[in-house]
C-alpha cells in the first residue's frame, strides 16, 4: 500500500485510530505507521491515535483533537478562561475535564492534560462550531471558573483569588451570575460554595 492510497482513504476523518485502519484493511502492516511518522507524514496523537501532518497547520484542530483522543472530555479550566479573555495569560497547554482518570499527552500538535471529575459533574459545556463543519466541546465561562475553583482548593482567600487577575469587565458584563450559582449548586460542595461567595466578594460582583 502506498501512503497516497492510505491518505486518500482516511484524510477527511482528521484523526483515526488503529482499529479504523484494520477495519478498512485487515492485513495492514502497522510498521507502515512508524515509517510514515518518521518521514513526517503522520503525527501520533497518543497510543493508537494518529493524524496527518497537514492538520498541525489548520486552526482549531489542536482543540478538536483534545476532545477526540480522550473521551468523554471537554475543554475547560485555564484554556477556556484564556479563550474567553477572563485571565491575562496565554495558555500553551490544552486543559480539559474528563470523567476518566487524570491523564496527559504530549505530541506533535501540542500538550494535553485532563483533570478527572465524577461523571455527574460532566456538564456545563457547549458545542462550538469550527472549520470543516466539526464541533468542539467547550466549557461555558461559568463552568470553566467553577471547575477551576473546585479542582484548585488553594483559591480559598481573597489574596489568592486576586492573583487570578480575572478580567473585571468580563465578570461584570458577560458572566452569567445566575448560571454560575445554578451550576455551583449542582456540585453539592460546601467548599466550592464558600470559594464562589469569596470570589463574588473579592471582585465586588
DSSP SS3 for 73: strand
77 with 39, same domain?
A: no
Its domain, for residue 187, covers 61-202
Report the candidate in 46, 115, 51 with the shortest Cα–Cα distance to residue 80. Answer: 115
Report pLDDT for 89: 85
87 — pLDDT class (breaks 50, 70, 90): very high
DSSP SS3 for 125: strand
Tens digits of residue pLDDT in 13-29? 999 999 999 999 999 99
Tens digits of residue pLDDT in 131-184? 899 999 999 999 999 999 999 999 999 999 999 999 999 999 999 999 999 999
144 with 197, same domain?
A: yes
The better pLDDT of the pair 1, 64 is held by 64
What's the domain count of the chain?
Answer: 2
How large is the average pLDDT for residues 193-204?
A: 97
196 — pLDDT class (breaks 50, 70, 90): very high
95 with 163, same domain?
A: yes
53 with 32, same domain?
A: yes
Domain boundary among 23, 42, 57: 57
- Provide CB contacts within 8 A for 117, sequence distance 6+: 97, 98, 99, 147, 150, 151
Contact between 110 and 93 under an 8 Å Cβ cutoff? The reply is yes
Domain boundary among 57, 76, 91: 57
Q: Which strands sit side by side in the sheet containing 49-52, from one edge to the other? A: 15-17, 49-52, 42-46
DSSP SS3 for 132: helix
42 with 71, same domain?
A: no
Amino acid at each position: 500500500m502506498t501512503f497516497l492510497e492510505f491518505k486518500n482513504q482516511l484524510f477527511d476523518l482528521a484523526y483515526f485510530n488503529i482499529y479504523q485502519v484494520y477495519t478498512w484493511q485487515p492485513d495492514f502492516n502497522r510498521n507502515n505507521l512508524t515509517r510514515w511518522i518518521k518521514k513526517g507524514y503522520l503525527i501520533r496523537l497518543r497510543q493508537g491515535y494518529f493524524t496527518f501532518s497537514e492538520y498541525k497547520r489548520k486552526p482549531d484542530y489542536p482543540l478538536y483533537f483534545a476532545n477526540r483522543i480522550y473521551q468523554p472530555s471537554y475543554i475547560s479550566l485555564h484554556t477556556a478562561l484564556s479563550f474567553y479573555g477572563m485571565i491575562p495569560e496565554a495558555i500553551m497547554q490544552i486543559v480539559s475535564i474528563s470523567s476518566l482518570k487524570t491523564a496527559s499527552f504530549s505530541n506533535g500538535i501540542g500538550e494535553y492534560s485532563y483533570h478527572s471529575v465524577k461523571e455527574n459533574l460532566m456538564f456545563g459545556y457547549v458545542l462550538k462550531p469550527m472549520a470543516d463543519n466539526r464541533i468542539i466541546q467547550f466549557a461555558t465561562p461559568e463552568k470553566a471558573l467553577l471547575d477551576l475553583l473546585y479542582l484548585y482548593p488553594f483559591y480559598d482567600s481573597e489574596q489568592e483569588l486576586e492573583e487570578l487577575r480575572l478580567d473585571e469587565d468580563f465578570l461584570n458584563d458577560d458572566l452569567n451570575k445566575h448560571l454560575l450559582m445554578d451550576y455551583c449548586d449542582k456540585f453539592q460542595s460546601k467548599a466550592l460554595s464558600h470559594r464562589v461567595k469569596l470570589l463574588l466578594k473579592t471582585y465586588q460582583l
